[in-house]
């Protein structure tokens, strides 16, 4: 056995994630997060190795999509297939589920019976399927309460753990294993999509835990969840790193090692139980000076550009940056597959944790 295999085996033996939910990385210890990343890197290196192709043999993963996707559905389906299992696509509209306006099966009943069929449940629920912020998080945790199998967030209104882990994996591939002391500019970009806070809030949680210095930049009136911001501030403090907030569209680029751009909605996006998407878009498009372009990127430390996609090109970021030589958007997009394979293997199979 090669040294790298021994180190990986020992790392996986140190944690036991079998049956554990992944709704937010904040719920996981650093050694558990690092074990996922180590396994994901080995899975990427040995993508179709027989070491992993039978990990989920004859097992089914339910994918519960309240909202559509491109990368999420593709990557989870590929992940299940490459582990020897099957991913089943489910739409709430095609199921008899109880809602505020209709009778149907409760979350308890649905989760309990689904636990008898599958090895895991993935749920994706975002802004326009909710009546208020936090409702998606509550739904996932209610499923987790009743399910006997792991519940994995495939993106919800508060967090996007799989995206955050894919981000970290990509940064480590380009900047080295230690990210401590690297400067991140996490900035709002104007755009026409009125996105939820999930990806940027997950980035705040994870990047701060990995010891990065963070500048959070957005126009006034686009504050994120104060609990998440304070958590990131404290993690930066513990790691002796700087955390700052600016409302200037240019400040923060100087000497940045990583520039992460994402449009997100304002805290006023929900009113009277309704997501006001068109109002959010109209308001956001007034801030054209918040685009990330080559002139702004010149003051960085030859920074990597990162974005969870889909990108609103010409609004959030200029094409020459998004498709430029320092953009790692496709690397990170690919890493969604490998990270999700590692999560599924560690939480839904008993073949990985003991190093067999």
Residues 199 and 318 in one domain: yes
Residue 353 lies in a domain: no
CA distance 68 to 47: 27
Which CATH number goes with the domain that contains 62?
A: 3.40.50.1370
Residue 342 lies in a domain: yes
Number of domains in the chain: 2
The CB density around residue 197, as the number of other CB atoms within 10 Å, is: 24
Q: Does a cis peptide bond (omega within 30 degrees of 0) precede residue 310? A: yes
Task: Give me the numbers of helices (H) and strands (E) for the chain, helices first please.
Answer: 12, 11
Residue 154 lies in a domain: yes
Residues 200 and 315 in one domain: yes
Residues 120 and 184 in one domain: no
Strand partners, 187: 217, 261
Residues 76 and 213 in one domain: no
Walk along the chain (356 residues) and give the pLDDT tens digit of each residue: 555 555 566 667 778 999 999 999 999 999 999 999 999 999 999 999 999 999 999 999 999 999 988 899 999 999 999 999 999 999 888 777 766 666 778 999 999 999 999 999 999 999 999 999 999 999 999 999 999 999 999 999 999 999 999 999 999 999 999 999 999 999 999 999 899 999 999 999 999 999 999 999 999 999 999 999 999 999 999 999 999 999 999 999 999 999 999 999 999 999 999 999 999 999 999 999 999 999 999 999 999 999 999 999 999 999 999 999 999 999 999 999 999 999 999 999 987 644 43
Contacts of 346 (CB under 8 A, 6+ apart): 12, 15, 17, 18, 20, 35, 36, 39, 352, 353
Cβ pair 128, 98 in contact under 8 A? no
Residues 91 and 24 in one domain: yes
Domain span at residue 277 reads 163-328
Residue 354 lies in a domain: no
Residues 134 and 255 in one domain: no
Cβ pair 236, 208 in contact under 8 A? yes
């Amino acid at each position: 056995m090669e040294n790298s295999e021994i180190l990986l085996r020992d790392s996986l033996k140190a944690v036991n994630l079998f049956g554990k939910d992944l709704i937010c990385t904040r719920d996981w210890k650093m050694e558990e997060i690092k074990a996922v990343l180590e396994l994901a890197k080995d899975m990427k290196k040995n993508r179709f190795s027989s070491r992993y192709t039978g990990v989920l043999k004859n097992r089914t993963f339910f994918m519960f999509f309240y909202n559509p996707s491109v990368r999420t559905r593709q990557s989870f389906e590929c992940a299940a297939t490459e582990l020897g299992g099957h991913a089943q696509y489910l739409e709430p509209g095609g199921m008899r589920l109880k809602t505020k306006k209709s009778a149907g099966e409760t979350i308890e009943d649905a989760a309990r019976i689904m636990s008898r069929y599958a090895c895991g449940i993935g749920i994706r629920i975002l802004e326009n399927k909710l009546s208020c912020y936090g409702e998606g998080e509550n739904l996932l945790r209610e499923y987790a309460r009743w399910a006997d199998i792991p519940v994995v967030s495939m993106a919800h209104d508060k967090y996007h753990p799989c995206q955050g882990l894919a981000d970290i994996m990509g940064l480590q591939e380009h900047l080295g294993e230690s990210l401590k002391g690297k400067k991140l500019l996490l900035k709002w970009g104007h755009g026409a999509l009125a996105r939820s806070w999930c990806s940027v809030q997950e980035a705040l949680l994870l990047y701060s835990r990995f010891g990065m210095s963070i500048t959070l930049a957005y126009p006034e009136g686009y504050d994120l969840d104060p609990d998440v911001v304070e958590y990131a501030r404290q993690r930066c403090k513990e790691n002796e790193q700087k955390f700052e907030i600016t409302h200037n569209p240019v400040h923060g680029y100087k000497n940045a090692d990583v520039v992460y751009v994402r449009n997100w909605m304002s805290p006023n996006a929900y009113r009277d139980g309704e997501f006001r998407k068109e109002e959010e878009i109209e308001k956001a498009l007034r801030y054209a000076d918040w685009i990330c372009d080559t002139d702004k990127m010149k003051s960085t430390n030859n920074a990597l550009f990162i974005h969870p996609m889909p990108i609103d090109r010409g609004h959030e970021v200029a094409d020459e940056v998004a498709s430029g030589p320092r953009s790692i958007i496709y690397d990170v997009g690919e890493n969604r597959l490998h990270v999700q394979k590692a999560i599924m293997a560690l939480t839904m199979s008993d073949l990985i944790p003991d190093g067999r």
